[in-house]
Structure formats: C-alpha cells, structure tokens
C-alpha cells in the first residue's frame, strides 16, 4: 500500500514522540548497573509540587565540590533537574518525606547522571535526610527500571 504524500504529516509526529526501542535498551542497560549510580548531597530548590503521569520533578543544587572530591569529576552546573518516577514519588509520600521536606531542605540522594536527550531529567532512586532513608536504592531502582520498560515515552 502506498501512502499519500500528506499521510507522512500524520506518521512523523507519532514516531518522533516515542523513545526508540534501541535507545530504551541502552537506557535499561545503563540504569541496570549499580556501578553507574552516584550518591550526592544537595538542596531542593524547586519542586513540581504534584506528581504527573511521568513523576515528580525537582531542581537540586548539588554539592559540586563534594561530588568532585568523591568521584573526580567536575559538574558543569551544580543546579540540575531531576525526575522521581511516579512510583518513587508515591513511596516518598507514603514514607512521610513530603511532610518533613520542603524547599531548601538538604538531602542525600542517589542518581545516574548520563544525558539521554534534550530536556532529560536525571532519575532519583534513593532519598535520605540525615540518618533516615525515605526511599531505599533497591526499591527506587526497580521502580525506575519498570518505568523505563513500560511507561517512558
């Protein structure tokens, strides 16, 4: 069946709005390896304040001096955008994190800092305040991998 020339106007936007399967496999491979994750300290400077279908969005001012000391890499910017997938945002809510945390709150979190495209937000898979862990790494990572497999667009 041959498509009319104008039909491509309908097909191209649909194809371009999805993450290609081959890239999804690369992302799953990257996020599947524990060694790719980094523990960071930072301060929450912006919060989307609600959880969308994708999750909840934070901007965190990362302690870049500490990061460079721990990992030998200088961050190009210390104010970075992060994603809590919906299941991780719910876990934080269920654990009481949001009643304790607010903008300006210092946290310790675990993330993976590879960029997979324009507007990419780094995933958060663990969150602690002081000695209290509100989202543990194994749960957060499992929720992230599930999101990449089933819900990421």
DSSP line for 37-100 = -EEEEEEEEEE-SS--SSEEEEEEEE-HHHHHHHHS---S-SEEEEEEEHHHHHHHHHTTHHHH
Whole-model pTM? 0.80
More confident: 9 or 125: 125
Residue 4 lies in a domain: no
CA distances from 60 to 22, 41, 46, 111, 134 (A): 30, 9, 7, 12, 17
Q: Give per-residue pLDDT as tens, 41-94.
A: 999 998 876 666 678 888 999 999 999 999 998 988 889 989 999 999 999 999
Residue 121 lies in a domain: yes
Q: Which domain holds residue 83?
A: 43-150
Residue 2 lies in a domain: no
Mean pLDDT confidence for 108-118: 83
């Amino acid at each position: 069946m041959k498509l009319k020339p104008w039909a491509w106007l309908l097909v191209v936007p649909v194809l371009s709005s999805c993450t290609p399967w081959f890239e999804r496999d690369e992302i799953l491979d990257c996020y599947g390896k524990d060694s790719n994750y980094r523990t960071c300290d930072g301060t929450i400077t912006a919060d989307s304040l609600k959880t969308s279908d994708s999750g909840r969005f934070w901007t965190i001012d990362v302690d870049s001096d500490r990061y460079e000391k721990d990992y030998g890499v200088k961050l190009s910017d210390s104010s970075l955008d992060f994603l809590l997938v919906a299941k991780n945002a719910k876990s934080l809510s269920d654990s009481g994190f949001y009643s304790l945390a607010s903008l300006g709150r210092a946290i310790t979190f675990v993330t993976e800092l590879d960029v997979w495209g324009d507007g990419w937000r780094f995933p958060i898979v663990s969150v602690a305040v002081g000695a209290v862990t509100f989202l543990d790494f194994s749960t957060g990572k499992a929720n992230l991998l599930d999101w990449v497999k089933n819900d990421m667009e």
